[in-house]
């Protein structure tokens, strides 16, 4: 027999869930000190999943707060010319993002439930803030003199409740004989009663029907990347722009290159991809883009090989090296030191008018440096 499902009525704060992040950035239960437990109620997978999602929404807001308070980034609303009533999104920028004359770092996460400042919700909840968020990248970038822009490519629409359709009376409804109308209404009531009973059994908590209102010029990760490029990155004073793009973020970057090839080539110095899902054939990236990527990009992929070990590529685009982990969601965090080394080499090469050499030897980081 199907268990009665408790209502989807969850707290809207970490304290309400009785969880908090400790000094190591790990999510722990306030009373027991235990990590997060997904199966809070046995045999109620849907309820447990809804609880996990509710906690995830709180985590998203918590990371937004850290970006502003801890990393001192500014929240910038987009579209820049949005009216008061239209759907809006936002990105985060350091104060000097557009004015820093030297370096700008742009961070793009992957697809799914993650939002600005996150690499993986699962890592934030089950591991720690360092591995699951972009905060270590932002803090080190600021320390090393970069301006920073954090994209928000999954915030493509707002959800509003669907307006209920009004039933229209038939024109001849009034001429219907009373006896016939009563019989029809009785059948209709019984049918509705049966339908409601089965619906309650199948879906005990009928959720509100929602509709999506897309954000102008930001209705997809690819659109968002082009929009932020046109309105912010392209206008920045930085001589050198660097991208870190994870998973679907890599695909969004390649799409940006296809649409703004000349601009990207003139402004971007190096691109670090982490387990990127881009495909130069499917995305129809031209020969000149593929050549540029071979010279200026590196993809840290999930692999059981040691960090920075060269990994063979089936596609004729950027070099691939091991991220030092076979877990997709961990590739950004595990390749963190190598990415900054790669950018430093690219900067140095640019200042001496040479291209960075993406060889196994130049990428290899000794264990003691870690």
User: How many whole angstroms separate alpha carbon 9 and alpha carbon 47?
Assistant: 10
Query: Which of 263, 261, 235 is closest to 98 using CA atoms?
Result: 235
Distance from CA of residue 38 to its chain's centroid? 22
Residue with tokens 């790990």: 26
What 4-12 contacts at long range (C-beta under 8 Å, 24+ apart), as own/partner pairs, is 4/204, 5/44, 5/46, 5/47, 5/204, 5/205, 6/41, 6/44, 6/47, 7/205, 8/47, 8/50, 8/54, 8/205, 8/207, 10/50, 10/51, 10/54, 10/55, 11/54, 11/58, 12/54, 12/58
Residues 212, 205 contacting (CB under 8 angstroms) = no
Between CA 327 and CA 280 the distance in angstroms is 23
Summarize the chain as % helix, strand, coil (round to 5): 40, 15, 45
Q: Which residues are catalytic?
A: 247
Neighbours of 363 (CB within 10 A): 23
Q: Which of 245, 211, 249 is nearest to 87 (CA)?
A: 211
Alpha-carbon span 209 to 195, nearest angstrom: 18
User: How is 73-130 classified by DSSP, letter by letter?
Assistant: PEEEEESTT--SSS--EEEEE-TTTTT-SSEEEEEE--SSS--TTBS-HHHHHHT-HH
């Amino acid at each position: 027999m199907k268990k009665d499902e408790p209502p989807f009525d969850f707290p809207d704060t970490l304290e309400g869930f009785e969880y908090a992040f400790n000094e190591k950035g790990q999510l722990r239960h306030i009373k027991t000190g235990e990590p997060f437990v997904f199966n809070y109620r046995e045999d109620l997978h849907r309820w447990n999943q809804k609880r996990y999602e509710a906690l995830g929404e709180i985590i998203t807001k918590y990371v937004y707060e850290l970006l502003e308070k801890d990393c001192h980034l500014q929240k910038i609303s987009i579209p820049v010319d949005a009216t008061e009533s239209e759907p809006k999104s936002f990105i985060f920028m350091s104060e000097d993002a557009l004015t820093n004359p030297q370096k700008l770092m742009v961070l793009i996460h992957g697809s799914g439930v993650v939002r600005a400042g996150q690499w993986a919700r699962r890592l934030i909840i089950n591991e720690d803030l360092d591995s699951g968020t972009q905060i270590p990248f932002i803090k080190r970038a600021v320390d090393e003199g970069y301006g920073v822009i954090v994209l928000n490519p999954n915030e493509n629409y707002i959800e509003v409740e669907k307006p209920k359709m009004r039933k229209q009376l038939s024109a001849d409804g009034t001429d219907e004989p009373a006896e016939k109308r009563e019989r029809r209404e009785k059948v209709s009531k019984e049918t509705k009663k049966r339908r409601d009973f089965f619906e309650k059994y199948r879906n005990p908590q009928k959720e509100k029907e929602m509709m999506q209102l897309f954000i102008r010029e930001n209705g997809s990760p690819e659109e968002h990347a082009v929009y932020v490029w046109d309105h912010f990155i392209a206008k920045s004073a930085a001589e050198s722009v660097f991208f870190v793009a994870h998973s679907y973020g890599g695909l969004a970057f390649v799409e940006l290159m296809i649409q703004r090839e000349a601009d990207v080539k003139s402004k971007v110095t190096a691109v670090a991809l982490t387990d990127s899902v881009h495909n130069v054939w499917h995305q129809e990236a031209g020969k000149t883009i593929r050549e540029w990527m071979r010279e200026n990009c590196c993809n840290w992929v999930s692999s059981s090989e040691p960090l920075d070990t060269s990994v063979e590529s089936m596609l004729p685009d950027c070099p691939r090296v091991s991220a030092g982990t076979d877990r997709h969601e961990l590739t950004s965090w595990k390749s963190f030191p190598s990415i900054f080394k790669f950018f430093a080499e690219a900067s140095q090469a640019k200042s001496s008018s040479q291209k960075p050499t993406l060889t196994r030897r130049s990428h290899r980081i000794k264990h003691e440096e870690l």
